[in-house]
Amino acid sequence: MSRFDEANAWGRPAGAYGAVSAAEFDAGLRKHMLSVYNYMASGLLLTGAIALLVAQSPETMMSLHATPLKFVIMLAPLAFVMVLSFGIERLSAGAMQGIFWAFAATMGLSLSSIFMIYTGASIAQVFFISAATFAVTSLYGYTTQRDLTGFGGFLFMGLIGIVIASLVNLFMASSMLQFVISVVGVLVFTGLTAYDTQKIKESYADSWSADSKDKIAIMGALTLYLDLINIFMMLLQLLGNRRD
């Protein structure tokens, strides 16, 4: 019998409530998920604001993306993700918030380069399409009673394939391969959005301390942020209108 066979109407494993009532548990879960989405949305707003601000200054764009500094900007977000992932046990909630905001700001610097390639209207249009896709898929992941755990391994293998194919295409520069990567990428990250949302929901425990809840909410927000950003970047390569 799977854990979902023992679940209540929300798809929650039996015995998950601990010492609290079902209503109290559900209220705590909704509050936790709202915190996750609030952190994610705030991070996206910071990223977008910085990207737009940098894009307004040709001098800043050139200094960031036409010098060796571009490699620092490209790698810095990965460094922040690693610090958050491996430091969750040692860092305080306040420190993790600071690192998360620094990550979102650095992503804004990195993503400002898309304004050199695509039109502003095209970027806005694709972002709204990406956000709508994310919202529908995340809602599905939150509400479905179907266990999505089995898709995790498949999606992870798809992600590894995308990374390998992208590295290969750095040397091949094949437009057809890039098209395939983008299509597969949209499918994989859309699937990951539902999977990650359900995983965040199912991992919630009412026994967490306030500090732990905040730190886990930040990690959940980081995961969903990356899902949405990757959906956006893949769709932008498929649907974006390039500058002349």
- For the stretch 175-215, pLDDT in tens is 899 999 999 999 999 999 999 999 999 988 877 888 888 99
Average pLDDT over residues 72-91: 90
* 15 in any annotated domain: no
Evaluate whether residue 130 is within a structural domain.
yes
Phi, psi angle pair for 79, to nearest 5°: -65, -45
Structure tokens at 163: 């990374």
Inside any domain, residue 3: no
Residue 1 has pLDDT above 80, yes or no: no
Q: What is the mean pLDDT of the chain?
A: 88
* Tally of CB atoms within 10 A around 51: 20
- Is residue 231 in a domain? yes
Q: Give the tokens for residue 144.
A: 């479905």
**Helix intervals (H) in 203-240:** 210-239
Distance of alpha carbon 185 from alpha carbon 27, whole angstroms: 35
Buried residues in 202-235 as b, exposed as e (16+ CB within 10 A): bebebebeeeebbbbbbbbbbbbbbbbbbbbbbb
4 in a structural domain: no
Tell me, yes or no, whether 11 lies in a domain: no
Total residue length of the chain = 244
Residue 128: which domain range?
22-239
How many separate domains does the chain show?
Answer: 1
Whole-number pLDDT of residue 189:
96
Q: Does residue 7 form part of some domain? A: no
